[in-house]
Structure 1
Amino acid sequence: MSDSHQPINASQERLASARSGYVMLVVFLGLLAAIVTAVASLAGGDPGPATVLTFLAFILPAVVLQVLIASGFYMIQPNQAAAITLFGSYRGTDRTAGLRWVWPWMGKTKISVRSNNVVSEKLKVNDLRGNPIEIATQVVWRVADTAQALYDVDDYKAFVNVQIESAVRSIGSRYAYDDVEDAEITLRGSHAEVNAQLRGELIERLRVAGLTVDECGLTHLAYAPEIAGAMLRRQQAEAVIGARRKLVEGAVSMVEMALAQLSEKNVVELDDERRAAMVSNLMVVLCGEREAQPVVNAGTLYS
């Protein structure tokens, strides 16, 4: 995609400065043990005013620190990420699975980077020749750039559905449904080419949202009900014409070969009239739908 199609304020994923949560968990537990020990020692004796003041000077900051540490923990599952923000400013993405920790005043937005499968609804589209067809597709997509997915579009999942529909309509109108002569790329006869074009179209459309397409393909392709009967009869007629054409081409080549071999081996001398009669008989035998019935000629060709 050219730079002119990229948003001016496009976000870009970068690594966040998050820490291992297990280290901070040890600190949290150690501080908790110190608080419990201090409370137990204070409760077990007869503390004076100085001891109470010392206890309060320690316990209050310790409790506040405990709350701050506890607020910074978060968990990342496999194939999951967390976008870190500071007062609305994107600070990076953490993709390390396990218990993680950041400063509690930083925001954490989790996002899945697993593959998603979408099967679109059946859409009615006019193909290259203007025939109404029904078409649907299956798409496997995933988040490639978490920053773009979260901050460059409002709802990236809804964005995917809309772009799939637009891409399917574009591809459906770009090619004809069928071509009996196989002279061009068609929706029905060129699955690999059409699927590759559809995937490229989707990748271009979804790049702005930081998404990519791993696989896609048409799951439903048919003429619209209002013309399905007429198009079926046309396909049948075209198939019959194509079969007849192949049959005649083969019969002509066989007649040419028979006449050439008869003349080459001097089996029989044929004038133009006899040659024409033999050609007619051979064409009847080779092109007829029923078996030919032999006729014994007791006379001559001219009687």
Structure 2
Amino acid sequence: MREKKAWHVSGYLALFVALIAGLGGLFLTLYTIITENLPVYCIPVGIILVALSGICFSSIVIVQPNQAKVITFFGTYTGTVIESGLWMVLPFTTKTNVSLKVRNFNSQTLKVNDAEGNPVEIGAVVVFKVRDTAKAIFDVDHYEKFVGIQSETALRHVAAQYPYDTFTDDTKLSLRGNADEVAAELMSELQKRLDVAGVQLLETRLTHLAYAPEIASAMLQRQQATAIVSARQKIVEGAVGMVEAALRQLEASGVELDAERRAAMINNLMVSIVSDRAATPVINTGSLYS
């Protein structure tokens, strides 16, 4: 199905004709029956005018702003009226209302396994609007429910492709560290699923992300341990650079150190820099018997 424009003209003329025909036909019929001053054939003429009024009334449709009317004539799709106002369409048609407003779907908090097999809780909000009214009405059954089911299905699939978090590889995407990239991937996959329903996605965002309660405590300890190891690695790398710079400056100043003193100095500097506690200096004043 593809959306197409339905035939429609201004409904004010049809409303005027319907009122005049209905009132005129009703008056003509009743006046002829009651007074008998008019010929008998005026009765069927009045009935025809009343029927014509009913036909005109059946062709009038009111379209509200940001809404559309899908017109079907005895099971045949004739088109869609998108322009707001009072319109006249084909008589004896069925008019189905479709909202064109921007709407939100807030998914439930889903429990899924991430790429590493850890159970996590995740939720998302989906902002969408109807782009093709014909697809939304005829190609799927209740497109609002279709959007909800497909959104949660796509969210489960995307969440299973990424780990919750990672400290070992900065280039690897994670659910916590790359929320924008994950949301973009979710939007791309979900849009493919919703094309059949004529729905256009405007935005997708993660609204909830956490470890499942049964492993939250253990994963917190793991995160802390991984963060400590990563921090220590950075500290050691910085300490090595500082020691190398200190030795180069000493050599540039003309201070010569033998291998033993050089090793002792490196050891003292590394201990002082890497230690998580303040270093306690020990002053060597010389030997008592020297």
Report the CA distance between 1:32 and its aligned residue.
4.9
TM-score by length of 2: 0.92
The partner residue of 1:15 within 5, 14, 19 is 5
Cα distance in 1 for partners of 2:153, 2:112 equals 11
Cα distance in 1 for partners of 2:108, 2:138 equals 28
Which residue pairs with 2:195 in the alignment?
207
Post-superposition CA distance 1:33-90 (Å, at most 9, x none):
645775798799x764xx2335325322211111111122221111111111111011
Q: Structure 1 40/106 Cα, relative in aligned 2: closer, same or farther at 3 Å?
A: closer
Report the CA distance between 1:141 and its aligned residue.
1.3
Which residue pairs with 2:174 in the alignment?
186
Cα distance in 2 for partners of 1:78, 1:299 equals 94
Post-superposition CA distance 1:216-255 (Å, at most 9, x none):
1111111111111111100000000011111111111011
Which residue pairs with 2:273 in the alignment?
286
- Aligned positions of 1:138-153 closer than 5 A: 138-153=125-140
Query: Once the two structures are aligned, what percentage of the paired residues are identical?
Result: 46
- Aligned positions of 1:1-303 closer than 5 A: 11-32=1-22, 34-35=24-25, 48=37, 51-53=38-40, 55-181=42-168, 182-266=170-254, 268-299=255-286
Cα distance in 2 for partners of 1:36, 1:56 equals 9
Cα distance in 1 for partners of 2:178, 2:123 equals 16
Cα distance in 2 for partners of 1:110, 1:160 equals 18
SS state at 2:105 partner: strand
Deviates more, 1:235-244 or 1:279-288: 279-288
Cα distance in 2 for partners of 1:41, 1:221 equals 76
SS state at 2:205 partner: strand
SS state at 1:52 partner: coil
- The one-letter code sitting in structure 1 at the alignment partner of 2:224 is Q
Report the CA distance between 1:162 and its aligned residue.
1.2
Cα distance in 1 for partners of 2:146, 2:29 equals 55
Post-superposition CA distance 1:110-131 (Å, at most 9, x none):
1111111111111111111111
Post-superposition CA distance 1:142-180 (Å, at most 9, x none):
111111111111221111111111101100111111011
Cα distance in 2 for partners of 1:133, 1:269 equals 59
Cα distance in 1 for partners of 2:141, 2:23 equals 45
Cα distance in 2 for partners of 1:121, 1:216 equals 14
- The one-letter code sitting in structure 2 at the alignment partner of 1:20 is S
- The one-letter code sitting in structure 1 at the alignment partner of 2:115 is L
Report the CA distance between 1:30 and its aligned residue.
3.9
Cα distance in 2 for partners of 1:131, 1:43 equals 85
Cα distance in 2 for partners of 1:17, 1:158 equals 30
- The one-letter code sitting in structure 2 at the alignment partner of 1:172 is A
TM-score by length of 1: 0.88
Cα distance in 2 for partners of 1:226, 1:67 equals 67
For these two proteins, the number of residue pairs brought into alignment is 287
- The one-letter code sitting in structure 2 at the alignment partner of 1:102 is V
Cα distance in 2 for partners of 1:196, 1:262 equals 54
- After the TM superposition, which parts of structure 1 deviate over 4 Å for at least 4 consecutive aligned residues? 32-44
Report the CA distance between 1:27 and its aligned residue.
2.3
RMSD across aligned positions (CA): 2.1
Gaps of 5+ in 2: none
- The one-letter code sitting in structure 2 at the alignment partner of 1:233 is Q
Which residue pairs with 1:7 in the alignment?
none
